């Protein structure tokens, strides 16, 4: 099994190369693949504003909003504080938060999402994910799961799938991954 540091470095470089090829087309294909999510009722869905070479979820978010779902985005005050989610609608002003993410302003309502669509660097078919390494999503998912069930799907390029992601006890598993090419349920 490859260690997390080495796998992160490899996947960051590979994702950057893949992202440079056709990011807008991949984002549209991601939105089309996500139709497989087939939510039966409106949900409060957390997504993210893309950073660097992350696959862009905004076309997907627009589709979900058009289907009647309410959206929210993550916010972190600093590297030491936990991640929270704030209500978001297209047209809202965003600002850079304490960890460099574009997030809703403080006056946006804090909410508890039903579904979280999160970025990742790598994933496997067992529901393990590899993130950036700061643990923001792992901590947030752990806290949210203490209060009740939550559905989590990673969003990624298909080439980010690996045979086995290194996993530690604090790492939070996900329910599936949506890529530009497929929808993988765990």
CB 159 within 8 A of CB 123: no
DSSP symbol at 73: E
pLDDT recorded at residue 2? 62
Q: With CA atoms as reference, report the closest residue to 167 among 146, 138, 141, 140.
A: 138
**Residue 25, pLDDT above cutoff 80:** yes
CATH code for the domain defined by 4-163:
3.40.50.10420
**Residue 75, pLDDT above cutoff 90:** yes
Assign 34 a pLDDT band (cuts: 50, 70, 90): confident
47/74 Cα distance (integer angstroms): 7
123/172 Cα distance (integer angstroms): 12
Residue 127 sits at the vertex; the CA angle it makes with 63 and 111, to the nearest 5 degrees, is 50
pTM of the model: 0.94
Q: With CA atoms as reference, report the closest residue to 116 among 96, 95, 131, 99.
A: 131
pLDDT digits (tens, 9 = 90+) for 121-172: 999 999 999 988 677 999 999 999 999 999 999 999 999 999 999 999 999 9
pLDDT digits (tens, 9 = 90+) for 105-117: 999 999 999 999 9
Virtual torsion, Cα 173, 72, 76, 5, nearest 10 deg: 30
pLDDT recorded at residue 1? 46
Q: What residue ranges in the chain does DSSP mark as E strands?
A: 44-46, 70-76, 83-88, 94-96, 102-104, 110-111, 115-119, 122-123, 129-130, 151-156, 176-179, 183-185
Average pLDDT over residues 5-23: 95
Average pLDDT over residues 86-103: 96
User: What interhelical angle do 4-21 and 23-33 show, nearest 10?
Assistant: 100
């Amino acid at each position: 099994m490859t260690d997390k540091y080495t796998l992160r470095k490899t996947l960051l470089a590979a994702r950057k190369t893949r992202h440079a090829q056709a990011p807008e087309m991949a984002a549209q294909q991601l939105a089309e693949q996500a139709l497989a999510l087939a939510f039966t009722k409106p949900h409060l869905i957390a997504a993210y504003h893309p950073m660097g070479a992350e696959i862009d979820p905004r076309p997907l978010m627009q589709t979900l909003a058009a289907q009647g779902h309410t959206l929210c985005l993550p916010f972190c005050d600093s590297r030491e504080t936990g991640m929270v989610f704030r209500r978001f609608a297209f047209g809202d002003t965003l600002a850079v938060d304490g960890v460099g993410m574009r997030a809703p302003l403080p006056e946006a309502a804090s909410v508890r999402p039903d579904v979280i669509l999160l970025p990742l660097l790598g994933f496997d078919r067992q529901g393990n994910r590899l993130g950036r390494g700061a643990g923001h999503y792992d901590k947030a998912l752990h806290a949210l799961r203490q209060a009740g069930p939550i559905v989590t799907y990673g969003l990624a390029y298909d080439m980010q799938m690996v045979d086995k992601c290194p996993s530690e006890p604090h790492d939070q598993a996900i329910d599936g991954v949506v890529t530009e090419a497929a929808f993988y349920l765990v």
